Amino acid sequence: MSTPEIRCLSVDFDCSDPAELGRFYGDALDLPVVYTSEDFVLLGREGAPGLGFVRQTDYRPPTWPDSAHGKQAHLELGVTDLDAAQRKMLALGATLPSWQPRPDVWRVLLDPAGHPFCLSTHGI
C-alpha cells in the first residue's frame, strides 16, 4: 500500500463577490489570478498553495468580535510596519473595527467581504 501525496492547494473563503475579494487580496499580497470563473477566483503562484474565493448566494459576513456569527478562520499577515501596512490595506478597501485587542502588536481589519484578518509584527 503506497502513501498518498497530500498537499494544500488553497485556503478558500466564502463571499458574495469572488472577483472583488480576489482583487483585494491580489493587490494586498501581490498574487496573480491563476483561475477565474463567475463563482470562483484562485490566486497563487506555481507550486505554492493559493487563496480561493467562492461565491455563496446566502453569504453572511462574520460579526467579529460579536459571536452571533463569529469568524471561522482568519489570515495572519506578517508586516514590518503596522501603521504603513494598515494604511495600505485601508486604501485597498479594508475597514478597521473600533475594538482592537492589542494594537501595539497586531491590528485586526476586515476585508471587503467582512472576514477578519490580522496584520502582525510577530515572526518578521
Q: Return the sign of the alpha-carbon dihedral for residues 75, 78, 83, 87.
A: negative
Query: At residue 10, what are phi and psi to the nearest 5 degrees?
Result: -165, 160
Residues 106 and 122 sit within 8 Å (Cβ to Cβ)? yes
Neighbouring-strand partners of residue 35? 42
For the chain, 124 residues long, the average pLDDT of each consecutive 10-residue run is: 74 95 97 95 92 93 83 82 94 95 91 92 69
Half-sphere exposure of 48 (CA within 13 A, CB side): 9
- pTM beyond cutoff 0.75: yes
